[in-house]
């Protein structure tokens, strides 16, 4: 049973594929998450710029939600990126990516961790997830209540950042399940955002669009990235989402990567960094 658990968990927790060798499973409580080397991150990011939970009041955290990891900006705070991890992961893996690969001067990075909930597709085992998933192919059975709870959480994070920087200097993004939440959150936010980033993901509750999309973000730049060898979130779902968004949103682009599965790669991270730099009008 434990061996089966580990196989199923690996399938659904390829959230940051370059560190999947650090998978830690805890059969005692059903949790499965990626534990990357925070020591490496701390060695490269000055301690003054690295904080845990400093960006948001505990008012916005559910009972079993850990505080976010925050990478403070180099110099004056001029923009913020909120980035959501994938199913079964935590904020730590992508915080490391933000601090090392996507670091841009004057940009603050916020990486929250989802609540730990039972996930149907993983035999009901408990793990960090933004919403429940019953199938990776039948999108008529989506967990709308869970999706909307996570969207409300992301909107609260954005609103908190608006106290420090204009909304059009705030980006929301994510990988896999986190990217799905980021797409819905960004397209429905009431104020204009700087940009939306979706990696290896799809647009959830897509039949609700364009009706639920807010006009304030009708021209907000969106970048979608997907591996051509993705067998977890099939590439065609990413392409279908791109076409769906493109039908009502003119500023969306999609980039595909040969031989890349449900993970990330240096070329993709370079493209995301370039996207941020272009929108902010500064060299990455």
Mean pLDDT score, 233-251: 96
CB neighbour list of residue 20: distance below 8 Å, 6 or more residues apart: 10, 13, 14, 34, 263
Higher pLDDT, 58 or 283: 283
Mean model confidence pLDDT for the chain = 82
Q: Which of 55-64, 136-145, 274-283 has the highest mean pLDDT?
A: 274-283
**Banded pLDDT at 23 (limits 50, 70, 90):** very low
Q: Is the pLDDT of residue 24 over 50?
A: no
H-helix or E-strand spanning residue 119: strand 116-119
CA dihedral 21, 64, 264, 141 (to 10 degrees): 110
Report, as an integer, the average pLDDT of 138-166. Answer: 93
Band of residue 40 on the pLDDT scale cut at 50, 70, 90 = low
- Pull the structure tokens for residue 280: 């902010």
Residue 57's SS3 state is coil
Catalytic sites, residue numbers? 176, 230, 262
- Residue 44, pLDDT score: 56
Instruction: Please determine, for residue 78, whether its predicted confidence score (pLDDT) is greater than 90.
Output: yes
pLDDT > 90: what percent of the chain? 69
pLDDT at site 26: 34
Instruction: State the DSSP code for 176.
Output: T
pLDDT at 137: 72
Give residue 66's pLDDT: 72
Asked if 260 and 227 touch (Cβ cutoff 8 Å), the reply is yes
* Half-sphere exposure in the Cβ direction for 66 (13 Å, CA): 18
Helix 144-161 to helix 177-188 angle, to the nearest 10 degrees?
60
């Amino acid at each position: 049973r434990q061996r089966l658990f580990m196989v199923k968990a690996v399938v659904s927790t390829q959230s940051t594929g370059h560190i999947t060798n650090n998978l830690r499973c805890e059969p005692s409580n059903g949790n499965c998450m990626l534990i990357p080397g925070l020591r490496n991150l701390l060695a490269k990011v000055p301690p003054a710029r690295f904080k845990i939970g400093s960006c948001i009041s505990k008012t916005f955290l559910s009972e079993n939600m850990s505080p976010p990891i925050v990478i403070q900006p180099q110099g004056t705070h001029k923009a913020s990126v909120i980035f959501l991890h994938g199913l079964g992961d935590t904020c730590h893996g992508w915080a490391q990516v933000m601090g090392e690969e996507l670091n841009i001067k004057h940009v603050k990075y916020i990486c929250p961790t989802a609540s730990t909930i039972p996930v149907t597709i993983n035999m009901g085992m408990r793990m960090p997830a933004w919403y429940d998933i019953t199938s990776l192919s039948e999108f008529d059975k989506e967990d709308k209540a869970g999706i909307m709870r996570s969207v409300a959480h992301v909107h609260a994070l954005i609103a908190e950042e608006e106290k420090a920087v204009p909304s059009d200097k705030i980006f929301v993004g994510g990988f896999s399940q986190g990217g799905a939440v980021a797409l819905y959150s960004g397209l429905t936010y009431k104020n204009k955002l700087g940009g939306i980033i979706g990696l290896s993901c799809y647009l959830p509750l897509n039949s609700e669009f364009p009706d639920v999309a807010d006009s304030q973000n009708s021209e907000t730049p969106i970048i979608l990235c997907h591996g051509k060898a993705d067998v977890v979130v099939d590439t065609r779902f990413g392409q279908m989402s791109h076409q769906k968004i493109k039908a009502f949103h003119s500023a969306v682009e999609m980039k595909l990567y040969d031989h890349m599965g449900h993970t990330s790669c240096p070329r993709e991270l370079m493209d995301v960094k370039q996207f941020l730099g272009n929108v902010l009008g500064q060299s990455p």
